[in-house]
Amino acid sequence: MLKRPFNFSAGPAALPEAVLQRAADEMLDWHGSGMSVMEMSHRGKEFISIYEAAERDLRELLAVPSQFRILFMQGGGLGENAVVPMNLSRGGAVDVVVTGSWSKKSLKEAQRYCNAQAAASNEVSRHTALPATSQWRLRSNAAYVHVCSNETIDGVEMHTLPDLAALGCAAPLVVDASSHILSRSVDWSRVGLLFAGAQKNIGPAGVTIVIVREDLIGHALAICPSAFDYQCVADNQSMYNTPPTYGIYIAGLVFQWLKAEGGVAEMDRRAQAKADLLYHTLDHSGGFYANRVAHDARSRMNVPFFLADETLNDAFLAGAKEAGLLQLKGHKSVGGMRASIYNAMPLEGVQALVNYMQDFARRHG
Ligand code: PMP
């Protein structure tokens, strides 16, 4: 097979080639069933076995404790921005830590359902540094505290989850981990609920993973649609309505691939190596390239960067495409470039990118 280009899309993002190949092999006839997974009833034994394996593997990969339920939902991260307050807020106070574009959106959406406020914001730094936890203004009556642990657009990552108890806050922590789930382990003692859209580090768009502590289930507002009431979803093994079956199947293949590659500990190690290589290149480019995020808040998954001479942007992108390096254009709200280097991106891909960047800088410096 021809070597495929390296795809740096922020999402939907590259999937492991082995997963795509296996899905292709199984497309017309899954395991002798005579059916494509797309053609199976979600209540049949074939799909139930796919679903159960996916859930089991995800629980194992992230060491999810038994008092947490894993739900496979729909509606994406933006859907959860409404679904979480509808399920957890009880219409009361909710504190949101604003660290970038996505948590800002979460705050705005939550305000439609409850008394949501920013507990802190890094807007003054244009989302390039994390507000210190000591500065967070957390309300004692908050139903939960929301953070986005990796801001996909701004390239800002919390390298550890906040310990709310240590801050004197008894509220559960809600984490939007959409763009770095499965790149590191999760300290579940600090988490009440964690959600993630699948289309970055898991599988195709359309699947939303929600991992929620059992005691937080069963308090939905009356206006919450049944299909988004965690109680209803949990009671029906994520099959109250027809789940995104094919997306769950591909997610399951990714989980098997992750296990075979060495699990989350290995992804963590690789993420560090890839990020170190790319940031080192940016920081040692003599100012040709720059990443503006504070060093202790730099994302290992999404690396925005700028060329000092922005008139070279189009040439940079065109040359990258020719070199087999795709989708490096930055988000329109930030500009410049962005390299997303999720689990499926091999170190070899980042090496190819930095080789291209250095060569481009030599030619245009
Ligand atoms: N949260 C984060 C951190 C994201 O990166 C994204 C998508 N880029 C979203 C939420 C929104 O996800 P969706 O488009 O699936 O609603």
29 is catalytic: no
Is 199 labeled as ligand-binding?
Answer: yes
| CB 89 within 8 Å of CB 232 | no
200 is catalytic: yes
Q: Does pLDDT of 293 surpass 90?
A: yes
Return d(Cα 327, Cα 12) in angstroms, integer: 11
What residues have CB less than 8 Å from 48, skipping those under 6 apart?
42
pLDDT score, position 2: 64
pLDDT score, position 3: 85
What residues have CB less than 8 Å from 91, skipping those under 6 apart?
113, 114, 115, 221
- Tens digit of pLDDT for each residue in 13-54? 999 999 999 999 999 999 999 999 999 999 999 999 999 999
Range 196-207 average pLDDT: 97
Pocket of ligand 1 (CB under 6 A): 11, 76-79, 102, 148, 152, 176, 178-179, 197
- Residue 14: other Cβ atoms inside 10 A: 24
Pocket test for ligand 1, best of 178, 202, 334, 342 (most atoms within 8 A of CB): 178
- Tens digit of pLDDT for each residue in 172-193? 999 999 999 999 999 999 999 9
Q: Does pLDDT of 143 surpass 60?
A: yes
Q: Please tell me the distance between residue 355's alpha carbon and the centre of ligand 1 in angstroms.
A: 30
Question: CA 28, 34, 39, 45 torsion: positive or negative?
Answer: negative
102 is catalytic: yes
Is 208 labeled as ligand-binding?
Answer: no
Q: Which of 57, 95, 104, 200 is catalytic?
A: 200
Q: Which residues of 24-54 are buried (b: 16+ CB within 10 A; e: fewer)?
A: eeeeeebeeeebebeebebeeebbeebbeeb
Q: Please tell me the distance between residue 248's alpha carbon and the centre of ligand 1 in angstroms.
A: 18
Range 88-115 average pLDDT: 98
pLDDT score, position 139: 98
Return d(Cα 274, Cα 257) in angstroms, integer: 19
Is 242 labeled as ligand-binding?
Answer: yes
DSSP state of 159: S
Long-range contacts of 295-299 (CB under 8 A, 24+ apart): 296/130, 296/159, 297/128, 297/129, 297/130, 297/156, 297/157, 297/158, 297/159, 298/155, 298/156, 298/157, 299/150, 299/151, 299/155, 299/156, 299/157, 299/179, 299/180, 299/275
- Tens digit of pLDDT for each residue in 104-139? 999 999 999 999 999 999 999 999 999 999 999 999
Q: Does pLDDT of 69 surpass 70?
A: yes
DSSP state of 153: T
Return d(Cα 331, Cα 18) in angstroms, integer: 29
Q: Which of 30, 176, 229, 257 is catalytic?
A: 176
- Residue 258: other Cβ atoms inside 10 A: 24
Q: Please tell me the distance between residue 28's alpha carbon and the centre of ligand 1 in angstroms.
A: 31
| CB 282 within 8 Å of CB 291 | yes
pLDDT score, position 365: 83
Residue-averaged pLDDT of the chain? 97
Q: Please identify, by atom number, the ligand 1 atom nearest to the C-alpha of residue 81.
A: 10
* ipTM at complex level: 0.99
Is 241 labeled as ligand-binding?
Answer: yes
Half-sphere exposure of 359 (CA within 13 A, CB side): 11
| CB 337 within 8 Å of CB 328 | yes
Burial of 168 (0-12, 13-18, 19+ CB in 10 A): exposed
Q: Does pLDDT of 1 surpass 70?
A: no
Domains contained in the chain, CATH given: 18-259 (3.40.640.10), 262-364 (3.90.1150.10)
| CB 92 within 8 Å of CB 117 | no
- Tens digit of pLDDT for each residue in 213-222? 999 999 999 9
Q: Please tell me the distance between residue 192's alpha carbon and the centre of ligand 1 in angstroms.
A: 19
